[in-house]
Structure 1
Amino acid sequence: MKITRRQFAYAAGAFGLSMIEGCTRAGNTDNGGPAPADPLLSLTVAATSPWMANQVALTSDNTMFLGLPRFPGHEQTPSLARREPDGTVTAFPGNTWNEWQAGDDGQNAFVYVNSVHIFADDTVWCVDQGGLRPDASPPELATPKPGAQKLVQLDPRTGNVLNVIRFGSDILPNGAQLNDLRISRGIIYLSESGLGALIVHDLATGTTLRRLSGRKEMLAVETPTPTTTPAAGAHQNRHKTPKSDLIELSADGVWLYWAAPTGPFRRIRTDILRDGSLSDDELATHVEQLANIPLSGGCAMDTAGNLYLSDINNHRILLLPPTGKMVTLASDSRLISPDGGFIGGDRRLYVPAPQTERTQLFGNPTDLTTKPFQILSLTLPKSFDGTELGDAVTGRTG
């Protein structure tokens, strides 16, 4: 089903209201997604990893790559891995890029890979935050050394590094953290989750813009502070919710979508976002709020404009179409801390389950994660609950 720009704009304007009405009719008050008319889809294990994996991406021939964050208690990881034809998962590219150690400058090694994505040209793009988590590490390890925070593009077959993009302090001031990226027509769009911003980089000209920095449109919705005193011996939950985090592009590259994990989802036209003559105040008037969402670890978007959300608290995958009628697509107890989703060329939705909520960062007395870590997947039908589902949004990098 082809959705015109006018139809999409009309539907988007009704997102928030229609979603709230849908949840109310279903008796659902937690934005968790009402029950659909169709049976829920089944998840299968697509891959397993000996290392914590929170990101997944596949080439057009279904070669899978995994992002392996140096999460507290999981610092010994190669950061990026490839699934081999026999199903094993090996470090990629398998040299000094995977061998960072505390104290290294991080110039030419992965320090903390937060995102892995693959677009139409099949190259592998990694977002390296350049430092360990500030909510779990001392400043000397959490503060990226000069040039350590970067984008890295690799050949999926040879592992050769094709491009490394670094930004100056005007784009990444102290406290900024690159989070995720999408590419369309040679333009890279990035979410920055440390201070909260969107970053636009033109691959052809090298021009970079930092937009809406620190504005309310970039910030996470704060959850209420507990009023009760923790029990004696309880461990502190040190996790800090990122700011602008989830990011997606429409298939035509016209709209950029983003959200903090606590929502709400917002969007803006990319031509307006790229207009360097507009101030942030002027840009803010063009931001559209689409929908409130439950706590989400990651998302994916298809060519029909549907969003797929990883519902952390309820171990579900939610479908949020342009109509705003959010429904549950799949529910599975194995979806433990579901993170960034990816739609492959095989029309399967892949979602990693990194179990981050079981780590000490979230107040557990010990690390409760179990190996191997799973990547789950489901086949997208042509339609679900009356909504036509699309294919993968790949963008164009040339």
Structure 2
Amino acid sequence: MKQLITLFYLSFIIMNCNAQKKGEVFMTTDQAVGNITFTLKGDLVYSHHPFFEPGNRVMIYDRTTKTHQPFPNKEWNTPRETDDNYLSNILGIRNDKNGVVWMLDMAQRNDVTPKIVGWNTKTNSLERIYYLPVSAMPKESQPNDMVVDTKNGYFIIADEGIGNGGDGSKAAFIVVDMKTGKTRRLLEGTRTTLPENAPTIINGKHLAVKGKDLLVGNDGITADKDFEWIYYGPLNGTKIYRIRTVDLINEDLTENQLDSKIETYSDKPNNGGMSIDIDGNLYLTAIETNSVAVVLAKDLSMKTMIQDDNLVWPDGVSYNDVDGYMYVSAAQVNKGAAFNSGNDMSTKPFYVFRFKPLVKGVAFR
């Protein structure tokens, strides 16, 4: 009898571990979800992945009514020639503690200036627009994700360097002063922003354009709960790096001095999105294995948090302070037309999963 109880107990533990590793499907949509953030009420705001040229660039899912609507409204999702107060193409999207959702507009679909658009969800009104000038945005720029640092007063943007046929060699940081709007481009094409020669391989197939491996530079980025450290790394790369925020925003440091402040933090897989919890554990979307990995702060070892056959190209990962879950999108980017001889191989539905982090996550970063 004792052996039976022990076997039952072990089976129960294994079943629960497997259930945790598979994650939970929170919702499905008809279009690919890129990055995710939340309102203060816990409603999910998400970008439609720009690789699929969606009609509505950003959407909101109301947890109460369980309905999807364009965010902040239809007008902002409608291109026009009379002005540029609309969203061209959005991937990076973040919230802040004041209830403002910030959207990073790469502006690659329309002839408009790249910008960061902030929408105040408390007042349902435009908070502010920060324009990104040409000096910070060469033609190869593809500003992918960002940290919204309300403590120090800066947007810190990871630029992949693969826009308009770029090969990742001009990957960089873009830093924007929230008070003045002053914008600087930093560490372009340097050792920690450049992609490594570590091609993305999914189910034995290389992610390639016209037969050439796509190597993506500075991509995943997050900050700890106190905005003391910025963690980042190229999508195609084997290392996570970190730098103190005060160093990255210090205008008195030369590029060489800034580079010397960077620490190699841990190993990683080829990954897209990055998030963090209050203990400093880093959550990475491992694009080649349909999974979310975690780098443990205690020893820098890496574990699998969730893995699912439907988590194809896990992209954005963000924490919802209202319900205590991490959310992650499955964007199916590798199935897009650009990587399949002009044929869109993606399949509906597109998934958003959620899972419980090891400890409370960091919601505003």
Structure 1 distance, partners of 2:83, 2:336, is 25
Asked whether 1:371 is paired with 2:365, we answer: no
Give the AA of the match of 1:77. G
Asked whether 1:240 is paired with 2:219, we answer: no
Q: Using the TM superposition, give the Cα deviation of residue 50 of structure 1 relative to its aligned residue in structure 2, in angstroms.
A: 2.3
Asked whether 1:86 is paired with 2:56, we answer: no
Q: Using the TM superposition, give the Cα deviation of residue 83 of structure 1 relative to its aligned residue in structure 2, in angstroms.
A: 0.8
Q: Using the TM superposition, give the Cα deviation of residue 299 of structure 1 relative to its aligned residue in structure 2, in angstroms.
A: 1.5
Q: Which residue of 2 aligns with 1:138?
A: none
Judging changes above 3 Å, is the alpha-carbon distance between structure 1 residues 276 and 95 closer, same or farther for their aligned structure 2 residues?
A: same
Q: Using the TM superposition, give the Cα deviation of residue 238 of structure 1 relative to its aligned residue in structure 2, in angstroms.
A: 6.7
Q: Which residue of 2 aligns with 1:151?
A: 116
Give the AA of the match of 1:363. N
Q: Secondary structure at the match of 1:252?
A: coil
Q: Using the TM superposition, give the Cα deviation of residue 351 of structure 1 relative to its aligned residue in structure 2, in angstroms.
A: 0.3
Q: Which residue of 2 aligns with 1:273?
A: 248
Deviates further, 359-368 or 241-250:
359-368
Q: Is the 8 A contact 2:199 2:236 kept in 1?
A: no
1:295-310 superposed matches below 5 A: 295-310=270-285
Please, which of 309, 330, 347 is the counterpart of residue 306 of structure 2?
Answer: 330
Give the AA of the match of 1:122. G
TM-score relative to the length of structure 1:
0.76
Please, which of 189, 201, 205 is the counterpart of residue 180 of structure 2?
Answer: 205
Please, which of 105, 116, 128 is the counterpart of residue 105 of structure 2?
Answer: 128
Please, which of 151, 157, 168 is the counterpart of residue 190 of structure 1?
Answer: 157
Q: Which residue of 1 aligns with 2:9?
A: none
Structure 2 distance, partners of 1:115, 1:76, is 15
Q: Secondary structure at the match of 2:294?
A: strand
Please, which of 77, 88, 97 is the counterpart of residue 76 of structure 2?
Answer: 97
Q: Using the TM superposition, give the Cα deviation of residue 328 of structure 1 relative to its aligned residue in structure 2, in angstroms.
A: 1.0
Structure 2 distance, partners of 1:75, 1:106, is 20
Asked whether 1:173 is paired with 2:138, we answer: yes
Judging changes above 3 Å, is the alpha-carbon distance between structure 1 residues 238 and 113 closer, same or farther for their aligned structure 2 residues?
A: farther
Q: Using the TM superposition, give the Cα deviation of residue 273 of structure 1 relative to its aligned residue in structure 2, in angstroms.
A: 1.4
Please, which of 92, 113, 120 is the counterpart of residue 90 of structure 2?
Answer: 113
Structure 2 distance, partners of 1:342, 1:78, is 21
Describe the superposition over 1:46-98 as per-residue Cα deviations: whole angstroms up to 9, x where unpaired: 12222211111112321111101332xx3242100011332121212223321
Q: Secondary structure at the match of 1:282?
A: helix
Asked whether 1:390 is paired with 2:360, we answer: yes
Structure 2 distance, partners of 1:225, 1:217, is 18
Q: Using the TM superposition, give the Cα deviation of residue 262 of structure 1 relative to its aligned residue in structure 2, in angstroms.
A: 1.8
Deviates further, 203-212 or 323-332:
203-212
Judging changes above 3 Å, is the alpha-carbon distance between structure 1 residues 237 and 82 closer, same or farther for their aligned structure 2 residues?
A: farther
RMSD: 2.6
Please, which of 328, 343, 347 is the counterpart of residue 351 of structure 1?
Answer: 328
Q: Secondary structure at the match of 2:46?
A: strand
Q: Secondary structure at the match of 1:241?
A: coil
Judging changes above 3 Å, is the alpha-carbon distance between structure 1 residues 178 and 225 closer, same or farther for their aligned structure 2 residues?
A: closer
Structure 2 distance, partners of 1:81, 1:342, is 16
Q: Secondary structure at the match of 1:54?
A: strand
Asked whether 1:75 is paired with 2:50, we answer: no
Asked whether 1:318 is paired with 2:293, we answer: yes
Q: Which residue of 2 aligns with 1:46?
A: 26
Asked whether 1:164 is paired with 2:129, we answer: yes
Describe the superposition over 1:285-322 as per-residue Cα deviations: whole angstroms up to 9, x where unpaired: 11111123112121111111111111111111111012
Describe the superposition over 1:26-64 as per-residue Cα deviations: whole angstroms up to 9, x where unpaired: xxxxxxxxxx9x924141121222221111111232111
**Which runs of structure 1 show a deviation greater than 6 angstroms over 4 or more consecutive aligned residues?**
none
Q: Is the 8 A contact 1:219 1:260 kept in 2?
A: yes
Structure 1 distance, partners of 2:49, 2:29, is 12
* Percentage identity across paired residues of the two chains: 24
Q: Is the 8 A contact 1:49 1:373 kept in 2?
A: yes
Q: Secondary structure at the match of 2:334?
A: helix
Structure 2 distance, partners of 1:369, 1:157, is 36
Structure 1 distance, partners of 2:70, 2:200, is 40
Q: Is the 8 A contact 2:94 2:148 kept in 1?
A: no
What 5-or-longer segments of structure 2 have no aligned partner? Answer: 1-13, 162-169
Q: Is the 8 A contact 1:315 1:337 kept in 2?
A: yes
Q: Secondary structure at the match of 1:341?
A: strand
Judging changes above 3 Å, is the alpha-carbon distance between structure 1 residues 159 and 175 closer, same or farther for their aligned structure 2 residues?
A: farther
Q: Using the TM superposition, give the Cα deviation of residue 202 of structure 1 relative to its aligned residue in structure 2, in angstroms.
A: 2.0
Q: How many residue pairs align between the two structures?
A: 330
TM-score relative to the length of structure 2:
0.83
User: Greater RCO between the two (CA within 8 Å, min separation 6)?
Assistant: 1
Q: Secondary structure at the match of 1:342?
A: strand
Q: Secondary structure at the match of 2:218?
A: coil
Describe the superposition over 1:325-356 as per-residue Cα deviations: whole angstroms up to 9, x where unpaired: 10111111111010010011122010001111
Structure 1 distance, partners of 2:200, 2:330, is 27
Judging changes above 3 Å, is the alpha-carbon distance between structure 1 residues 326 and 129 closer, same or farther for their aligned structure 2 residues?
A: same
